[in-house]
């Protein structure tokens, strides 16, 4: 099976019920990268919309591993309102549901505004070299991105960090998919709880939500800065939240994720 870029995988999803193929370079262990699955679902949901609206919020449940094979993306319009549309999507491997997502798409209206208050203090991107997937024990999907890990939270470092910072961009052109470009990048940070260990631990995502502060199609940046924080962890479940900034410091989206970890 030849490898495919993210744009190629998404381009095959040309209807609300479509098939596409996940290739090995997008895997992390036995499952495909969660950001890929969320991006695939978003493409399917856009195809289910009768008219273009901006995604305002995305909610993803990681039901089971997405395998490296042909999968089906089934999307359905739940409600079409004047301002807001609700859409759902499932990724199926045969008869098995791998991922379930729902999203709210909404048009803009003239209203009073409250500008986001978010501290933007990124470490210099070139303060560390780009991650080299061939030189480190990294999951294959990392090779599809340029990642400068500048802000701690290194897995298995034993530092106990509760924060990480990363500069990230796609290694290939994603200009045709501005929404999916941001969604895929938003899921790159691993569980920050892994920085509390020095020996391998198994982790997986249960659920993830992403809220867009600015419509994705209005974001021109290719580089994004991810500032993520571990909020809590106990009993094998951890919660972390994050902010996604454009290169010029504009807050683009807010992330919230629940993950499991197994000693």
Residues 6+ apart with CB under 8 A from 210: 38, 57, 58, 60, 183, 186, 253, 254, 255, 256
Mean pLDDT of the chain: 95
Query: Would you list the domain boundaries of the chain?
Result: 6-107+122-262
Average pLDDT (175-203) is: 96
CA distance 218 to 231: 30
Whole-number pLDDT of residue 2: 80
pLDDT digits (tens, 9 = 90+) for 70-101: 999 999 999 999 999 999 999 999 999 999 99
Whole-number pLDDT of residue 138: 86
Q: What is the pTM of this model?
A: 0.96
- Residue 161 has which token pair? 């960090």
Indicate whether 263 pLDDT > 90.
no
pLDDT digits (tens, 9 = 90+) for 115-162: 888 999 999 999 999 998 776 678 999 999 999 999 999 999 999 999
Phi, psi of 107 (to 5 degrees): -85, 155
Whole-number pLDDT of residue 137: 78
pLDDT digits (tens, 9 = 90+) for 196-248: 999 999 999 999 999 999 999 999 999 999 999 999 999 999 999 999 999 99
Average pLDDT (42-61) is: 96
Contact between residue 212 and residue 57 where contact means Cβ atoms under 8 Å apart? yes
Indicate whether 32 pLDDT > 70.
yes
Average pLDDT (186-192) is: 97
Whole-number pLDDT of residue 124: 95
Q: 17: pLDDT confidence band, cut at 50, 70 and 90? A: very high
Q: How many Å separate Cα 179 from the centre of its chain?
A: 11
Provide the 8-state DSSP code for 57. Answer: E
Q: What architecture (CATH level 2) is domain 6-107+122-262?
A: Beta Barrel (2.40)
Whole-number pLDDT of residue 1: 62
């Amino acid at each position: 099976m030849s490898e495919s870029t993210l744009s190629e995988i998404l381009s095959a999803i040309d209807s609300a019920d479509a098939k596409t193929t996940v290739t090995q370079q997008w895997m992390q262990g036995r499952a495909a990268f969660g950001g890929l699955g969320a991006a695939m679902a978003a493409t399917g949901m856009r195809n289910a919309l009768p008219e273009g609206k901006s995604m305002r919020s995305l909610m993803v449940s990681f039901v089971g591993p997405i395998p490296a094979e042909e999968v089906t993306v089934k999307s359905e319009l739940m409600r079409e309102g004047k301002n807001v549309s609700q859409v759902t999507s499932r990724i199926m491997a045969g008869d098995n549901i791998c991922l379930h997502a729902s999203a709210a798409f909404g048009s803009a209206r003239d209203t009073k505004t409250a500008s986001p208050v978010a501290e933007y203090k990124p470490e210099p991107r070139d303060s560390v070299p780009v991650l080299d997937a061939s030189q480190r024990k990294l999951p294959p999907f990392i090779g599809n991105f340029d990642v400068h890990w500048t802000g701690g939270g290194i897995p298995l470092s034993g530092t106990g960090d509760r924060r990480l910072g990363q500069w990230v961009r796609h290694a290939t052109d994603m200009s045709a998919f501005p929404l999916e470009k941001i969604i895929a990048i938003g899921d790159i940070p691993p569980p920050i709880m892994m920085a509390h260990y020095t020996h391998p631990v198994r982790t997986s995502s249960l659920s993830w939500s992403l809220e867009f502060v600015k419509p994705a199609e209005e974001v021109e940046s290719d580089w994004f800065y991810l500032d993520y924080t571990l909020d809590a962890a106990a009993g094998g479940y951890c919660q972390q939240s994050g902010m996604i900034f454009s290169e010029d410091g504009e807050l683009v989206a807010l992330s919230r994720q629940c993950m499991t970890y197994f000693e």
